[in-house]
Chain A
Amino acid sequence: MAVNSSNKSKIIYTFLAWTIGGLIFFPILWTLLTSFKTEAEAISASPSLFMFDWTLENYKEVLSRSPYFTHFWNSIVISIGSSLVGLLIAIPAAWSMAFVPTKRTKNLLMWMLSTKMLPPVGVLIPIYLLFRDFDLLDTKTGLVIVMTLINLPIMVWMLYTYFKEIPNEVLEASRMDGATIGDEIFYVLLPIALPGIASTLLLNVILSWNEAFWTLILSAANAAPLTAFIASYSSPEGLFYAKLSAASAMAVVPILILGWFSQKQLVRGLSFGAVK
């Protein structure tokens, strides 16, 4: 069997890729499998990968013990709401930075990014007190606000880089063609930037969906999203691996499906072929 060197390296890379993929996916797979085990099997010292008594007991139990759909709905409102509000602020901001930059635009962008380097716990007390005084504790509005603020720097950065790639001349051409500012934005800029806007939106939905610091601290029963739902199975009455896994699976699967169907969009597309 003659295997030439380029074929050999292809095999090695494929093997490496699958190994890394498997390593990354293994915890999720393990969680999914555990969610179908009995509690006894879940903590067994010699766990079996597939050969166990498959059961849906944990899901029934979890669904009957906590209001899954309330948490699910809260997660949706918080993640999508904060991403939409974020876009509303980030689009004009990124637009002005990309198309009418000033001497300090770069500094402003770096400063915005630097806020992401701050450990969130450093501002825990002031934010908590603000939320308390404005009656925002355990409200979806409060969580939407905080998630918007947390993700805004990333949104502006992403949109800024997408807008930067749109050649100014295309926008100028539309001005020559008689477009008003509204026409220019709606018929030219937004359609060209749509893939970028969509991937910004998707990434932020995912980031907010998975955020578990602020959502746990600032919510209790009413506004708690799925992260709080998972957390509720991790402590007080001892450990319930199987139920914890079932709760995790129910929290993670919706966003995994969203990610799966939008992967093309997430890995951004559209070439700007019209501008050589």
Chain B
Amino acid sequence: MGNITLKQVTKSFGDVNVIKPIDLEIRDGEFIVFVGPSGCGKSTLLRMIAGLEDTTSGNIEINGQDATDMPPAKRGLAMVFQSYALYPHMSVRNNIAFPLKRAKMDKAEIDKKIANAAKILNLDSYLDRKPGQLSGGQRQRVAIGRAIVRQPSAFLFDEPLSNLDASLRVNMRLEISELHKSLATTMIYVTHDQVEAMTMADRIAVFNGGIIEQVGTPLELYNKPNNKFVAGFIGSPKMNFIDAKSPDNDKVASIGVRPEHLQISTEKGMWSGTVGVTEHLGSETFLHVQLDGAGTFTVRADGECTLAYGDKIYLSADPSKIHHFDKDGVSINKV
């Protein structure tokens, strides 16, 4: 069991209100990602769920039980910190054993669990080393090992991959996803990286300034963003926005099109412009186009695109792929 319910939860540091009232239902076994720009309160909310920060108002329920004022040790959750937070004076073995010893588990059982975790995480040959003698990726594995042995009802991750280099990050991302599939335990994962959110999540909660802008599956957020913020945050490269009126809906103040939904033509189209910088990635090409009206569009073209700086082109998009927003940035359903 591992469902967590937040009811009108808020947090203030002194006079500064960093979490506005938040309601959220986290289901047993799901992988939910809190994503948002840095400073929007993701870590704070995660730490409140963990019990490391107290809750200013509202309620946190874990497995149907009110846990708002429970100390962290009693909540049955495990946390993996960005800094790994290993115990520097203990061997890897003792780091992993620490939570089991606190739970007064007997020695034979502890050894069995450590051996098992070491096998899953490829830590066999490092068990007697101190954290200081391990690489970043290995430390991250130890931190995960220490979390899984306790069989918590949910895992909390706070930007666990941000101290790793890019290629290791991709590997660990897969490992964590695989771990989630095999354990089928609730995971709450905080990141500022929308790629991590899109690739790992069952559901994503997009944070902005202490509120949740939208909760949904990666594709829901991609296809039906509630507002301009979510539309711009999810997807890479970012969605293009321009101010525009729609002939059939006078509430529309701006429209948005994703770079991958624009078609290029040299003869005709909805918008005309001049090619600026082109970025060739091999499999695809990003064109930065200066529109003749106003603004710039980023366009995703295929890898063989031969357009170059200064070329005149036309762009168009399938009307069903164009997002409409009112003057407050709220999405207007398809007209």
A192 CB–B CB distance under 8 Å: yes
Q: Which of the four size classes fits the interface of chain A?
A: 20 to 34
Contact with B along A145-188 (1 / 0, CB 8 A): 00000000000000000000001011011111111100100011
In the complex, chain B residues whose CB is within 8 Å of the CB of A47? none
Of the candidates A167, A174, A178, A191, which one forms a contact with B83 in the assembled complex, judged by CB atoms under 8 Å apart? A167
Q: Which B residues, 126 to 143, have Cβ-Cβ distances below 8 Å to chain A?
A: 130-133, 136, 139
A175 touches B89 (CB 8 A): no
- How many positions in chain B have a CB within 8 Å of any CB in the partner chain? 30
A276 CB–B CB distance under 8 Å: yes
In the complex, chain A residues whose CB is within 8 Å of the CB of B99? 177-178
Known: A176-B72, A176-B73. A170 touches B131 (CB 8 A): no
A271 CB–B CB distance under 8 Å: yes
- Closest B residue to A194 using CB positions: B89
* A271 CB, min distance to chain B CBs, angstroms: 6
B52 touches A172 (CB 8 A): yes
Contact with A along B104-134 (1 / 0, CB 8 A): 0000000000000000000000000011110
* B236 CB, min distance to chain A CBs, angstroms: 27
B102 touches A272 (CB 8 A): no
In the complex, chain A residues whose CB is within 8 Å of the CB of B86? 170, 173, 274-275
A273 CB–B CB distance under 8 Å: yes
- In the complex, what distance in Å separates the CA atom of A272 from the CA atom of B83? 12
B84 CB–A CB distance under 8 Å: yes
A169 touches B88 (CB 8 A): no
In the complex, chain A residues whose CB is within 8 Å of the CB of B52? 172, 175-176
In the complex, chain B residues whose CB is within 8 Å of the CB of A174? 87, 98
B73 touches A180 (CB 8 A): yes
B50 CB–A CB distance under 8 Å: yes
Which of B61-69, B74-82, B201-209 sits within the interface?
B74-82
- Residue of B78, B87, B99, B133 ringed by the most chain A CB atoms within 10 A: B87
- In the complex, what distance in Å separates the CA atom of A174 from the CA atom of B86? 9
B71 touches A170 (CB 8 A): no
B281 CB–A CB distance under 8 Å: no
- In the complex, what distance in Å separates the CA atom of A179 from the CA atom of B79? 14
Known: A170-B87, A275-B84. A176 touches B98 (CB 8 A): no
In the complex, chain A residues whose CB is within 8 Å of the CB of B79? 172-173, 176
A170 touches B102 (CB 8 A): no
B169 CB–A CB distance under 8 Å: no
B136 touches A276 (CB 8 A): yes
- Closest B residue to A275 using CB positions: B83
B88 touches A273 (CB 8 A): yes
In the complex, chain A residues whose CB is within 8 Å of the CB of B57? none
Known: A176-B78, A177-B98. A275 touches B103 (CB 8 A): no
- Closest B residue to A272 using CB positions: B88
* B80 CB, min distance to chain A CBs, angstroms: 9
- In the complex, what distance in Å separates the CA atom of A275 from the CA atom of B95? 13
Known: A173-B85, A192-B88. A178 touches B130 (CB 8 A): no
B323 CB–A CB distance under 8 Å: no
* A270 CB, min distance to chain B CBs, angstroms: 8
A178 touches B73 (CB 8 A): yes
Of the candidates A177, A179, A187, A191, which one forms a contact with B150 in the assembled complex, judged by CB atoms under 8 Å apart? A177
- Residue of A167, A174, A274, A275 ringed by the most chain B CB atoms within 10 A: A274
Known: A183-B102, A187-B98, A276-B83. A175 touches B73 (CB 8 A): yes
A274 touches B131 (CB 8 A): yes
Known: A177-B99, A273-B133. A172 touches B85 (CB 8 A): yes
Ordered nearest first, which 7 A-B pairs have the shortest CB separation? A273-B132, A274-B131, A274-B88, A177-B99, A178-B102, A274-B86, A169-B85
Binding site for B on A (CB under 8 A): 167, 169-170, 172-180, 183, 187-188, 191-192, 194, 270-276
7 contacts between A and B (CB under 8 A): A175-B73, A178-B99, A178-B103, A274-B85, A274-B132, A275-B84, A275-B88
Binding site for A on B (CB under 8 A): 50-52, 71-73, 77-79, 81, 83-89, 98-99, 102-103, 130-133, 136, 139, 146, 150, 163
